[in-house]
Amino acid sequence: MDGKFKFKFRKKGGETPSGSGQGEASRTPSGKGRQRGRKGGKGVKIIVALLLVAAALIGFMAYRNSKAKQAAATAKTQNTASVERRNITSELSSSGTLAAKDTYSITSLVEGEVLSANFEEGDQVEKDQVLYEIDKSSMETQLTSANNSLERANSSYEDATEDYQDALNDYSGNTYKATEAGYIKELYVNPGDKVSGNTKLADIYSDDVMELRIPFLSGEAAAIGVGNGVTVTLTDTGEQIGGTVKAVANQERVLTGGRLVRYVTISVPNPGGLTDTMRATAQIGDFSGSEDGTFEASVDTTMNADLSTGVEVEAVLVNEGDYVSKGTPMFRMTSKSADKLIQSYKDALDKAQESLESAQSKLESTQDSYDNYTITAPISGQVIAKNFKVGDNITKNTSNTTVLATIYDLSSLTFEMSIDELDIRKVKVGQKVAVTADAFEGQSFSGTVTNVSLESTYSNGVSTYPVTVTLDETGDLLPGMNVDGVITLEEANDVLAIPVDALMRGNRVYVKDETVTEQQGPVPAGFRSVEVETGLTNDSYVEIKSGLSEGDVVYVAESTASNVNSFMMMPAGGGGMGGPPEGGQGGGNRQGGGGMR
């Protein structure tokens, strides 16, 4: 053989091609063997594939169990806390110094010698109790003068008021009215005339009542009184008429023969026949007149205008020969001049009122100054200092105020808390305050917010506001002691709570779950993210209203891990695990899981 195989193929029907029969015989068995070997190799491959699949499944299960164990181990190394029930309070705290409820420094507004000071340091004084009496003799004259001025001003005001009311009546209807009763003998005004004060209006005459002046001896006249009855005898006819004593002169006169007399004026109603040419004598009781006298009309005068300002006559309302009574309209004024006339009385009234008010103010001011010489306690309290005694002279210093005494109202104590601008709106009047004092370690006191001031103080870029706290009880506390105050803003009792650093952005919490085998974003392996509803929050804890159950274990950022021992914190392990990159509200912002950064 030349090293090459030659193959022959049979023809269809069992024929064989030409060639060596031996070669055909030798090929046939070997071909059959290869066919059997090829079938056996395919079975082996299937078995091997099955074995490989089984091995892969076993490896995957082992890998999965390894990952789960690793996730569980990783979760155990995180800082965690259990969801528990607790009481949560939101508080503000600040320090301050106690002061008396009210402190008054007694000062003097006047100068002078101290005449009395009946109190001592340490005394308890009552409100309005007299503390000092200062010599006020210099004020007596001023006070008397002010009182007199007020009386005069009040009298002037009353007169002005009366004049104004009279003017409204006298000039009603814009008319000027008669001031005398009688017949008009002659009229002096005409339409268009300007009439002012004392302008002659008319001559008035009336003989309805006649007057008779009879001299009586001075001694007899002294016994005659106004209103005594008189018998008048007409000289010519002897006819007698009754009369009345109108006046008795005080002046004595001497008649012929040296008789000393005083004239008596007698009013006699005119029966209709008396004239000013008739004469008569008079008898008053047992006294007779020394001479007769002549009758005169009781009214025979000139009526002059009584006006405070000039007016213009629009129309004359009477004629000569008319009989006028007091109040009879004489003429009508123009409206403009009448208004001006009334206004003049109103102006006088206003001026009188201003003078009265000024006098009243002056008296009040003088009285206040007078009262300043008696100094009383403005509050009830304890005298802390007494700086002046009887005999001392008080002088006023323009550069500073002289303090006579100091009084503390120790009925309650107060102090001021300084509250940051971010928290001031949370503070309200009436909120309770827990107070502790350095001088009384272990004791606590209660107080109440009594004032929230809006007058801020700015320092180092921050504004703070003073909040006044009044203690509910003082105990042995004293002004000047240092205290700490805590204001409780809100309370939530027996609520589910977690550490503040367990709460992540978006109100999410990482709850322990060992079925989670790999870290999911910021959520470490062994934990799953849960959204929660929160309530009250303070510096340490946050209330959970929904989303968690009591006993759930949650992830806590490392920054507060040491502060939540009450939550049964698990110790950190595995290289100081930190929080997830989104961080908790308390500040955790590190990558969690396996110590990765």
| Alpha carbons 445 and 60: distance in angstroms, whole number | 68
CA distance 83 to 97: 41
- The widest CA-to-CA distance across the chain, in whole angstroms, is 229
Q: Is the dihedral of CA 215, 220, 225, 229 positive or negative?
A: negative
Residues 6 or more apart whose Cβ sits within 8 Å of residue 368: none
Q: Is residue 64 part of a domain?
A: no
Say if residue 262 is in the same domain as residue 325.
yes
Domain boundary at 351, 377, 407, which? 407
Q: Do 358 and 386 sit in the same domain of this protein? A: no
The number of distinct structural domains making up the chain is: 4
Question: Considering the domain boundaries, does residue 84 fall inside one?
Answer: no
Tell whether 515 and 535 lie within a shared domain: yes
Instruction: Tell me which residue of 276, 273, 210 sits closest to 246, measured CA to CA.
Output: 210
Q: How far apart are CA 372 and CA 109, in angstroms?
A: 7
- Considering the domain architecture, whether residues 402 and 458 belong to the same structural domain is answered as no
Neighbouring CB atoms inside 10 A of 159's CB total 13
Each residue's pLDDT tens digit, 263-297: 999 999 998 888 889 999 999 999 999 999 999 98
Regarding whether 183 and 168 lie in a shared domain, the answer is: no
pLDDT at 370: 94
CA separation (Å) from 421 to 97, 161, 427, 428, 489? 21, 63, 11, 14, 15
Output the pLDDT for position 7: 38
Give the pair of three-digit tokens for residue 300. Answer: 């025979």
End-to-end CA distance of the chain: 77
Residues forming a β-bridge with 284? 287
Cα–Cα distance for residue pair 63/517, rounded to 1 Å: 11
Return the pLDDT at 345: 94
Q: Is residue 227 part of a domain?
A: yes
Q: What are phi and psi of 103, to 5 degrees?
A: -130, 125
pLDDT of residue 502: 94
Same domain for 441 and 387? no
pLDDT of amino acid 314: 96
Cβ neighbours of residue 170 closer than 8 Å, sequence gap 6 or more: 176, 177
pLDDT of residue 66: 52
- Say if residue 460 is in the same domain as residue 551: yes
Domain assignment present for 36 = no
Judge contact between 548 and 509, C-beta under 8 A: yes
CATH code of 433's domain: 2.40.30.170
- Considering the domain architecture, whether residues 228 and 375 belong to the same structural domain is answered as no
What's the domain range around 396? Answer: 103-136+369-407
Model pLDDT, residue 53 = 57
Q: Which of 102, 202, 81, 64 is nearest to 556 (CA)?
A: 81
Paired sense of beta strands 112-116 and 259-269, if any: unpaired
Q: Is residue 501 part of a domain?
A: yes
Q: Which residues in the chain land under pLDDT 50?
A: 1-40, 71, 74-75, 560-597
Place of tokens 């000013």: 276
Structure tokens at 311: 């007016």
52 is a domain residue: no
Domain CATH number, residue 124: 2.40.50.100
For residue 561, the model assigns a pLDDT of: 44
pLDDT at residue number 295: 94
What is the rounded distance in angstroms from the CA atom of residue 396 to the CA atom of residue 110?
A: 7
CA 363/CA 395 separation, integer angstroms = 25
Tell me if 449 is assigned to some domain.
Answer: yes
What's the CA gap between 429 and 120, in Å, rounded?
Answer: 38
Residues 313, 184: one domain? yes
Q: Are 165 and 187 contained in the same domain? A: no
Distance CA 453, CA 439 (A): 28
Paired tokens of 20: 């060596």
* Pair 448, 383 in one domain: no
Give residue-wise pLDDT tens across range 516-546.
Answer: 989 999 999 999 999 999 999 888 999 999 9
What is the reported pLDDT for 69? 54
Instruction: Let me know whether 516 and 393 are in one domain.
Output: no
Angle subtended at Cα 315 by Cα 314 and Cα 319, rounded to the nearest 5 degrees: 155
SS (H, E, C) 195-239: ECCCCEEEEEEEEEEEEEEEEEEHHHHCCCCCCCEEEEEECCCCC
Q: How far is CA 375 from CA 104, 136, 398, in A?
A: 13, 12, 20
